[in-house]
Amino acid sequence: MRALKFLTLLSSVILGLITHAAMPPLSQEDREAYASTIMTGVVVNMNMVAQKTGYRSVNNIYTVTFAPTQIEKGASYSRSIEFTFWKAAERPDGWCGPTGQYGMMQVGDNIRVYMYKNEANTYQLLEPNGFDKL
């Protein structure tokens, strides 16, 4: 009976870790299919706000102003467009789960972005690899 309880508990823990694991990178085909907007251009400005999300958990939320030079899919041309993304900044020891965006961009970087409009009707990068440096 003890062995059955232990196996049930162990199975629950393993299942919990699997369902909250970090996301693998999207394939190029998936990024092109899931993105409502794909653009290339230059990062003009970037602001970051730290957001506490739970016990010893903090996410950095970035708002980026982007000057498109080419539109490959979606939105019509605009002189600038804003989008957001997040990265995990702090987590408890041994934590396993989503980490937000892989990699980091800087002001002046020439990038290609893969975006969609979220519930708030603002652009957000696909996760976890919603941009490429060019």
Question: 1-36 pLDDT, tens per residue?
Answer: 555 444 444 444 444 444 445 678 999 999 999 999
In a domain, 6, yes or no: no
pTM beyond 0.85: the answer is no
Q: Is residue 81 within 8 Å of 122, Cβ to Cβ? A: no
CATH code of the domain in which 45 resides: 2.40.50
Q: Report the domain count for the chain.
A: 1
| In a domain? residue 17 | no
* Residue 127: other Cβ atoms inside 10 A: 18
What's the mean pLDDT in 45-72?
94
Query: What is the reported pLDDT for 10?
Result: 40
- In tens, the pLDDT along 97-134 reads 788 898 999 999 999 999 999 999 999 999 999 999 99
In a domain, 105, yes or no: yes
Residue 15 lies in a domain: no
Residue 48 lies in a domain: yes
How far apart, in whole angstroms, are the C-alpha atoms of residue 87 and residue 131?
Answer: 13
Plot region of 36 (φ>0 → left; ψ -120 to 50 → alpha; else → beta): alpha
* Owning domain of residue 121: 23-133
